[in-house]
Amino acid sequence: MSDDNPHSSSGSSRKSWATKLLQVFTGEPSSREELVDMIQDAEERDLIDNDTKEMIEGVLDVAELKVRDIMVPRSQMVTIDINQSVESFLPIVIDSQHSRYPVVSENKDHIEGILLAKDLLAYGFGMTDEEFSLTKVIRPAVIVPEGKRVDVLLKEFREQRYHMAIVVDEYGGVSGLVTIEDILEEIVGEIEDETDFDEDIKADIRRINKSRYSVKALTTIEDFNDYFDTRFADEEYDTIGGMVAHGFGHLPQPGEEITLAGILFKVTGADKRRIQQLQITIPEQTSATDAD
C-alpha cells in the first residue's frame, strides 16, 4: 500500500538523521576525550559531516571557556565620550561600522551606557524634532566578570535579549567587552558580513575556535603566512595543500594528521588526486617557523 502523506519522505529523512546521530552517543563516553573520539569516529563513518563535527566540537570548547578567553580587550574597544557632539563621534561610527558602542566619561573605566547605531537613524532622517542628546539615547550597560563561563553568558544573552556586555576584572576595572557574536563564532567559526574586507583570504581560511581553523587546500602559502604570521617557504609549492602533501610523502586520506613547524595539519577533505580541505591547530604560545 502506497503512502499518500506528502511529508512522509522528509519525515523519514529526519528520523534517519536523528537515528544516526543517536548512534554516536550509544557508547556512553565517560570523559570528554572519549566523547571527542566518538565524534571523530562518527565523521569517519559518515554519520555526520565535517561541518557538524566542527560545530559539536565548538560547543564542547565553549563549555570550557571563560569570558576573558574571547573578549575584545580594553585597548581595542571603540568607545564614544558622553560629551562628544554628533559631528565629532559620527566619523567613528562610520569608520568602524559597529552596531553598538560603549559610551564613557573620563576614561574606559567609567561606562555610562551603550549606544546602538540604529538609534541615530531617527535623528538623521527628520523622524523627530527632539534635539539629540547621547544621555537620552544610550541604553544601560550589562557588566560581567572576566571569570564568567561563556556558555552561561550565552544563555543570559538569549534569555535577557542583550547582545553586548562590558567585562570587568576582580578590581572592577574595565578589561574589555564581549558580544553574542564573539560566542557564536567560537561555535560556528568566523561570521562575516558585507562590510568585511579581504574576502578572498577569509573565504579560504575560516576560524573555528581560539586555536583551530578550517583552511582550503588551495590557499596560497603566501596568504597562509600573512594570515597566521608564519614563514613557510613557497619556492617549491604554491599552495598549502601541496606543501602538506609533500610533508606526508603520499596523498593522505581524510583523518590523517601531520605536524609542520609546530602546527598540526589534519586532512578533512581529499579525493583521489589532491587534498581539498584542511583543519589546522595552532598551539598557544607557539610560533611557526620555516618549514623544511
Which residues lie closer than 8 Å to 234 by C-beta, 6 or more apart?
220, 221, 222, 225
Instruction: State which amino acid sits at residue 45.
Output: R
The owner of cell 602559502 is 221
- What's the pLDDT score for residue 22? 55
pLDDT of residue 30: 67
Distant-in-sequence contacts of 19-27, Cβ < 8 A, 24+ apart = 20/47, 20/48, 21/47, 21/48, 23/47, 24/48
- CA dist 63 and 176 (Å) reads 20
Name the pTM for this structure: 0.54
> Dihedrals φ, ψ of 150, to 5°?
-65, -40
Is residue 240 within a helix (H) or strand (E), and if so which, with residue range?
Answer: helix 240-248
Q: Tell me the mean pLDDT per 10 residues along the chain, length 292.
A: 46 50 57 76 80 79 87 89 88 83 92 92 66 88 94 92 93 93 80 48 72 89 91 88 92 90 90 84 57 39
Write the CA distances from 236 to 245, 261, 291, integer angstroms.
12, 17, 11
Radius of gyration in angstroms for the set of CA atoms belonging to the chain, rounded to a whole number: 24
Query: Is 144 within 8 Å of 67 (Cβ atoms)?
Result: yes
Burial label for 224, CB within 10 Å (0-12, 13-18, 19+), is buried
- CATH 3.30.465.10 corresponds to the domain 199-281: yes
Residues 6+ apart with CB under 8 A from 188: 55, 58
SS3 (DSSP) at 201: helix
β-bridge partners, 205:
215
Please state, in angstroms and rounded to a whole number, the distance separating the CA atoms of residues 160 and 283.
35
CA within 13 Å, CB half, 260: 23
Strand, coil or helix: 57: helix
CATH class of 68-186: alpha beta
115 Cα distance to chain centroid? 24
Q: What are the residue ranges spanned by the domains of the chain?
A: 23-64, 68-186, 199-281
Query: Of 97, 87, 82, 89, which is closest to residue 133 (Cα–Cα)?
Result: 82
Beta-bridge partners for 220: 239
Of the candidates 98, 94, 128, which has an alpha carbon nearest to the alpha carbon of residue 116? 98
